[in-house]
Chain A
Amino acid sequence: DAALKNPNSRRRKKDGIDLDAMADTEIDNMRTRMTLAAKSDADAREKGQPAMHKLKMLPDVVALLNRNTIATSLVDPDINLLEAVRFFLEPLSDGSLPAYNIQKEMFAALGRLPIGKEALIASGIGKVVLFYTRSARPEGSIKRQAERLLSDWMRPILRRSDDYRK
């Protein structure tokens, strides 16, 4: 039987539990690493040292965020990887923005992910994206992406209710 199985075929469905659990663990580990990196950068900044932890792990973060097959887990409000993305995008304690590369990669990833209401509420990512539209600091392309994301995310939430049963 094993010989009949195509090793390249999608096995997620067949062995769904295992693969999904593995992805969840991987995402959870990344969330922890990202949170620690954000904290380490904040500490370094306080001491007047260069803050490189987020930048250093950026390629790993991008590689994970680009994995379309686990998009649902990436935005799962219980795992809450998006909260760590928020930590990456938040202004630093002196009000300055994180490195442009971090902004660019995180906004690009946010534009690709299927982010719904529950994920927004759990992560607070909408709050920091709103901040990018209000600040004068981000480059034009980043601001435009922030505005587009907000309008995409707000639309379903602010949808006029036609349910009068309540």
Chain B
Amino acid sequence: MEIRDKILVVEDEKSISNFICTILDANDYKYITAANGKKAYAIISSHCPDLIILDLGLPDIDGMEIIKMVRSWTTTPIIVVSARSREKDKVEALDLGADDYITKPFGTSELLARIRTAIRHTRTSILSKEIAQSGKYCVDGLVIDYDKYRVYIDGVDSNLTQHEFKLVALLGKFAGKVLTYDFIIRELWGSTQKTDNQILRVNMANIRRKIEKNPAQPRYIFTEVGVGYRMIEGD
């Protein structure tokens, strides 16, 4: 028998949790629901779900608190559901350790794609934390060669500087996941300067001019306005 991933849906709006569960059921996932934070917390500690879909606006506990509590003892992937135009919430949730976010209103395929990415990432990162940093990442004509510190587009070296390579490599390592500006800056520069992401963005603009045909219609690295960047995920 195939082992089905168990997903916890934390959502207080019954109609929304209903349709999420219908989607999950139709796509061979097991699901549990929790309508408030306390119940969610109890289920997380007793059932150990493989993934948590978390609405930030719960009646009893702030969603951010739940992320903090869960992250203090487990790496179970968390996908945050939030309304658009609240990009600060998204950034905060991601920085607290949420794995991804999805914006209401969302479609079936978008939700399923996020779930697959999040589950795969925790699996690979547990098995091979180091392997991702060597070898190659290939997607759609783009090759990141971690051993040679080079990025190739359709076989042609794109002449990235060392810094630019580090940025692309980082995004490649977490392909499919949004990385916030703060996270990238901390990883690359080790600096805690919170507000200034201009250098990062200028770097990104330069990279796009080297690896994308049209920097305004990127194929590989996408901007999530107000949040950060996301590298396209390979198959």
Asked if A and B are interacting partners, one says: no
Seen from chain B, the residues whose Cβ lies within 8 Å of a Cβ on chain A are none
Please list the residues of chain A having a beta carbon within 8 angstroms of any beta carbon in chain B. Answer: none
